[in-house]
């Protein structure tokens, strides 16, 4: 099995326990990072009608937040579409959000039309995309001119320090044990630290966004830089 298929297969296996493991392992803090990103974007589109795509939507948490926060900003969401290649994750998403639209597809071939959306989000997903550069070009194609890509991700550290060591210890020693008990799949939770290690640091990812036709507007770390938010505008 090729690398990308193995990753998707792993998400199929952990899908039934994904939400529980996620909440326990992040102590719910990820919700505040997600809300920050949505608030920032919805303010820009206040009182407008827009389409939003959430790539690597998993069990649909980011979509739920887009939907519930939009009203606060007077934003009307015409279409909210989740894209993910894992049928297991999409089954879990459909149970939670039976009215949402989902497409089983990879990030580099979403099957959506040109200039479909004003916002495309991808939370904790881009690290898993083997064809990342092709996916960033695909995001550019799917966005309208002036549209935004919103990425939440665990990035690789460029500097070593105490905080980095604590984070690395948590990710490599504690997280696989707890995730392994909840999902009964320790291997899947050992994949998380190695996938971060194999991903990029924040600066290098900003360069890739630029190459794909985006201008980075936000690149900020949350909670001692555990998670990083990138917001970038389609400029060409
Ligand atoms: C860590 S989960 C994140 C799910 C969700 N976005 C969230 O924030 O909870 C990563 C997701 O990426 C998806 N994924 C893996 N490879 C992908 C690819 N090439 N294209 C799109 N999604 C992919 C997996 O199926 C999984 O649902």
Overall number of domains in the chain:
1
Q: Give the Å distance between the CA of 158 and the centre of ligand 1.
A: 24
User: Is the shortest distance between the CB of 88 and ligand 1 below 6 Å?
Assistant: no
The pLDDT-based confidence of 162 (bands split at 50, 70, 90) is confident
User: Is the shortest distance between the CB of 129 and ligand 1 below 6 Å?
Assistant: yes
Query: Which of 206, 236, 218, 214 has the alpha carbon at shortest distance from 38?
Result: 218
pLDDT tens by residue, 169-195: 888 899 999 999 999 999 999 999 999
Within-domain flag for 82? yes
From its phi and psi, is residue 74 left (phi > 0), alpha (psi between -120 and 50) or beta?
left
From the alpha carbon of 129, which atom of ligand 1 is closest?
19
Domain housing 111: 3-154+201-234
pLDDT tens by residue, 211-232: 999 999 999 999 878 899 999 9
Within-domain flag for 32? yes
- Between CA 17 and CA 176 the distance in angstroms is 14
User: Is the shortest distance between the CB of 10 and ligand 1 below 6 Å?
Assistant: no
Within-domain flag for 144? yes
């Amino acid at each position: 099995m090729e690398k990308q298929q193995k990753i998707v297969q792993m998400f199929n296996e952990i899908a039934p326990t994904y939400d529980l493991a996620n909440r326990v392992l992040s102590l719910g803090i990820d919700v505040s990072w997600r809300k920050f990103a949505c608030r920032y974007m919805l303010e820009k589109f206040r009182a407008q009608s827009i389409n939003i795509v959430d790539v690597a939507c998993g069990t649909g948490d980011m979509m739920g937040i887009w939907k519930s926060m939009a009203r606060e900003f007077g934003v009307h969401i015409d279409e909210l579409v989740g894209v993910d290649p894992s049928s297991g994750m999409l089954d879990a998403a459909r149970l939670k959000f039976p009215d949402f639209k989902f497409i089983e597809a990879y990030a580099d071939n979403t099957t959506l039309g040109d200039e479909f959306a004003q916002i495309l989000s991808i939370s904790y997903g881009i690290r898993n995309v083997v064809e990342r550069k092709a996916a960033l070009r695909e995001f550019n194609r799917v966005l309208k001119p002036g549209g935004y890509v919103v990425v939440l991700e665990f990035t690789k550290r460029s500097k070593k320090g105490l905080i980095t060591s604590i984070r690395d210890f948590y990710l490599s020693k504690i997280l696989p044990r707890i995730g392994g008990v909840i999902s009964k799949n320790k291997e899947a939770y050992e994949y998380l630290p190695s996938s971060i290690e194999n991903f990029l640091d924040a600066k290098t990812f900003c360069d890739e966004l630029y190459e794909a036709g985006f201008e980075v507007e936000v690149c900020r770390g949350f909670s001692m830089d555990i998670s990083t938010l990138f917001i970038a505008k389609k400029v060409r």
